Amino acid sequence: MSKIKARLLVVDDDPDILLAAKMFLRQHIEIVHTEKNPQNIPALLKNDSYDVILLDMNFSRDATSGQEGFHWLNVILELDPAATVIFITGYGDIELAVQGIKEGATNFILKPWDNKKLLATLEASLRIRESKMELESLKSTQKVLIADQDQAYSNLTSISPAMNKVMKIAMKVAKTDANVLILGENGTGKEVVARAIHRASPRHDNVFISVDLGAITESLFESELFGYKKGAFTDAREDRAGRFEVAGKGTIFLDEIGNLSQNLQSKLLGVLQSRKVVRLGSSKEIPIDIRLICATNMPLYEMVRENKFRQDLLYRINTVEISIPPLRERLEDIEPLVDYYLDTYCKKYKIQKKRITAGTLKRLQKHNWPGNIRELQHAVERAVILSDSTILEPHDFFMDETGNKREDDFSPDNMNLEEVEKILIRKVIDKHGGNISRAAKELGLTRASLYRRIEKYGI
């Protein structure tokens, strides 16, 4: 019979107990250490780690009260909060042993013990220890993943008074659990601000769940956000938590909230009012504890007047409202943003550090940037990849083709099909104030197709 791979420490001032424990347990446990003097516990834990510690409740100096056992339990848990401790106690001390479990012990055994019961108790405690370690590992992994994810959205490079005002409001509201509505054109950095609020909030050690409501179809809305039970629909082969449950104790960011239909607005409002979700296929209400941040590039107040957006939902989501100005209204931020992206992409592609000239900066500042920071980011990345020089000129950003001339001045005689399409897309996006959904509808494209063209042309 193979031994259980575990390290066990037995602490008792009775040599007979230690000998009996060691003789039996070494047949089943890989490593068994014994200790007569509890004063040596700190040194033992400093030099070694144990999966389970068997600890006597009463030592000779204090034979009946159990206080020494409680003292050494606290010492052990201070040194190793994940320690699994089993009290060794006499029949008359069962009440004390139960109290010990309340104070952090995992279990207790009575002496003289039954060997089968002792082994079963140890095996159960080892499983508890394993579960604790897995949970701690998951928590550590979650923190690393959260940090890595936040790093991708950590750029708040800004020197403009307009953005400084935005961040001042964001940092104030971050300390609370108030619902936040972030307004702004596409590409202005709404998710960056949302993540900054989360990082500065008391919930920062928990998850930030981002949901693009514009990308979720009406038929999938409830299953994605509220979850479902096995068998709720054809492909529901297992129970699954929705985004609201997954975001528990953390922050949920609902982007493109202006795209929701009236029907879905009602369902979302019900959840926000009750702070409970019901999975598809179930009638059980599940409480949720989340911080809500919403964002949109659509004119919600105008939509309320036109009965396209529920007024009660708007009041529910905008306890604090933050408006992010477009890049064309904060030209001071272009230089630090360009420097940041130059450094980022030169490192990413292992390219010699590049910089821009004063003339290039002026050209960049004259551009309208309908795609805002996202457009600037893509333009810098493209220039870093394609330019052979360490000094970037206006033509490296393709600005000399369209960005620095009035588009009305172009004639079809000196343009190819791609240039015409690029100009048309820009005009329609500008016409709708950066609203991708409306622009796509007018152009006769899907949102995904329009996004692909925006990527292609660096818009």
Residues 404, 288 share a domain: no
Residues 167, 312 share a domain: yes
Residues 321, 295 share a domain: yes
Rounded CA separation 130/108 (Å): 18
Residues 299, 396 share a domain: no
The residue out of 107, 134, 161 marking a domain boundary is 134
The answer to the question of residue 357 being in a domain is yes
Residues 168, 22 share a domain: no
The residue out of 290, 325, 360 marking a domain boundary is 325
Residues 450, 419 share a domain: yes
Residues 334, 321 share a domain: no
Which domain CATH number covers 118?
3.40.50.2300
Report the pLDDT value the prediction gives residue 242, as an integer from 0 to 100.
93
- Give the model confidence (pLDDT) of 216-266 as tens digits: 989 899 999 999 999 888 888 899 999 999 999 999 999 999 999 999 999
Q: Please choose, from the candidates 371, 381, 344, 370, the residue with its C-alpha nearest in 3D space to the C-alpha of residue 152.
A: 344
Range picked from 10-14, 56-60, 426-430 for highest mean pLDDT: 10-14
Lowest mean pLDDT among 16-30, 56-70, 445-459: 56-70
Report the pLDDT value the prediction gives residue 410, as an integer from 0 to 100.
47
Lowest mean pLDDT among 120-134, 156-170, 190-204, 326-340: 120-134
Rounded CA separation 170/158 (Å): 14
- Give the model confidence (pLDDT) of 86-138 as tens digits: 988 876 667 777 777 877 888 888 888 889 989 999 999 888 888 877 777 66
Q: Do residues 400 and 262 touch, judged by C-beta distance below 8 A?
A: no
Statement: residue 61 has pLDDT above 60: no
The answer to the question of residue 346 being in a domain is yes
Question: In sequence order, which ranges of 254-413 are alpha helices (DSSP H)?
Answer: 262-274, 300-305, 311-317, 334-348, 358-366, 372-386
Residues 270, 188 share a domain: yes
The answer to the question of residue 146 being in a domain is no
Q: Please choose, from the candidates 179, 139, 211, 169, the residue with its C-alpha nearest in 3D space to the C-alpha of residue 317.
A: 179
The residue out of 291, 325, 359 marking a domain boundary is 325
Q: How many residues does the chain have?
A: 459
- Give the model confidence (pLDDT) of 276-310 as tens digits: 999 999 999 999 999 999 999 999 999 999 999 99
Rounded CA separation 246/217 (Å): 20
Strand spans (E) along 20-68: 29-35, 52-56
Lowest mean pLDDT among 19-23, 402-406, 443-447: 402-406
Residues 371, 315 share a domain: no
Q: What is the residue whose two structure tokens read 């949920």?
A: 252
Select the more confidently predicted residue: 424 or 266: 266
* Residues pairing with 33 in the sheet: 9
The answer to the question of residue 109 being in a domain is yes
The answer to the question of residue 139 being in a domain is no
Statement: residue 63 has pLDDT above 70: no
Per the structure, the count of domains in the chain is 3
Q: Domain limits at 384?
A: 328-457
Residues 337, 229 share a domain: no
The pLDDT > 90 percentage for the chain reads 54
Q: Do residues 242 and 227 touch, judged by C-beta distance below 8 A?
A: yes
Rounded CA separation 157/336 (Å): 6
Tokens of 192: 């960056």
The answer to the question of residue 448 being in a domain is yes
The answer to the question of residue 63 being in a domain is yes
pTM: 0.62
Report the pLDDT value the prediction gives residue 447, as an integer from 0 to 100.
81
Report the pLDDT value the prediction gives residue 392, as an integer from 0 to 100.
93
Which domain CATH number covers 278?
3.40.50.300
Which domain CATH number covers 349?
1.10.8.60
SS3 457: helix
Residues 179, 303 share a domain: yes
Residues 338, 287 share a domain: no
Rounded CA separation 96/304 (Å): 64
The answer to the question of residue 45 being in a domain is yes
